[in-house]
Amino acid sequence: MSKTIQNRIVHDEELVFQLQRGDEWAFQLLVRRFRKKIFSIAFGITLNVEESQDIVQEVFLQVYRTIGNFRGDASLSTWLHRITVNRCLNWKRRWVRRFKWPHVSTDSTDGQPAAEPESDLPTPETRVVSAQTRQQIDNALKMLPDQARTVFVFRELDGLSYEEIADATGIKLGTVRSRLFHARRRLKEILQPLVEEEEK
Amino acid sequence: MTNPYSNACDEALLDRYLDGDLSADEKARMEAHLEGCRQCRRQVAAIAAFSQDLRDRVQQATDSVDFMALEKQVLNKALRQRRSRGGLSTFIGSLKYTIPAAATAGLLLFFAYSNYMPKTAPVPSAIINSFTGSMSSVMIFETPETRQTILWYNEDTNTESEQDAV
In a domain, B163, yes or no: no
Higher pLDDT, residue B121 or B9: B9
User: Average per-residue pLDDT in chain B?
Assistant: 78
Using a CB-CB cut-off of 8 Å, the residues of chain A touching B45 are: 195
Domain that holds residue B58: 2-63
The pLDDT score that the predictor gives to residue A129 is: 38
In the DSSP assignment, the letter for residue A72 is: S
Reported ipTM: 0.74
pLDDT (average), residues A142-148: 88
What CATH number does residue A62 fall under? Answer: 1.10.1740.10
Residues B149 and B130 placed together within one structural domain of the fold: yes
pLDDT (average), residues A13-42: 92
Q: What is the pLDDT of residue A80?
A: 95
Range scoring the smallest mean pLDDT among A49-58, A135-144, A170-179, B140-149:
B140-149
Reported as a single tens digit per residue, the pLDDT across B28-85 is 999 999 999 998 998 888 888 888 888 998 999 999 999 999 999 999 999 888 777 6
- Cβ contact (<8 Å) for B75 and A52? no
Same domain, yes or no, for B53 and B81? Answer: no
Residue whose C-alpha is closest to residue B35's, from B2, B77, B81, B69: B2
Is residue B112 domain-shared with residue B141, that is, in the same domain? no
Same-domain check for residues B126 and B113: no
pLDDT of residue A8: 61
Determine, yes or no, domain membership for B164: no
Q: How confident is the model at residue B102 (pLDDT cuts 50, 70, 90)?
A: confident
**Number of structural domains, chain A?**
1
B5-21 tens-digit pLDDT:
456 888 888 988 988 88
**The total number of structural domains that make up chain B:** 3
In a domain? residue B141: yes
**Average pLDDT score over chain A:** 79
Task: Examine the domain organization and report whether B129 and B99 are in the same domain.
Answer: no
For residue B162, being part of any structural domain is answered with no
DSSP conformation letters of A127-187: TT--SHHHHHHHHHHHTS-HHHHHHHHHHHHS---HHHHHHHHT--HHHHHHHHHHHHHHH
How near does any CA of chain B get to the CA of A40, in Å?
6
Domain end residue (candidates: B42, B63, B84): B63
Mean pLDDT check: name the lowest of A5-19, A96-110, B3-17. Answer: A96-110
Query: In terms of Cα–Cα distance, which of A26, A28, A43 is closest to B72?
Result: A28
Q: Mean pLDDT throughout A41-62?
A: 93
CB of A95 less than 8 A from some CB of B: no
A113 pLDDT higher than 60: no
Residues B52 and B21 in one domain: yes
CB spacing of B61 vs A156 below 8 angstroms: no
Distance CA A172, CA A144 (A): 19
Q: Which amino acid belongs to residue A159? A: G
> To 5 degrees, how large is the angle CA A58–CA A62–CA A66?
180
The pLDDT assigned to A104 comes to: 47
* Same-domain pairing of B100 and B126: no
Set of chain B residues whose Cβ sits within 8 Å of the Cβ of A32: 71
Interface of B with A (CB under 8 A): 11-12, 15, 18-19, 21, 42-43, 45-47, 50-51, 53-55, 57-58, 60-62, 64-65, 67, 70-71, 73-75, 77-79, 81-82
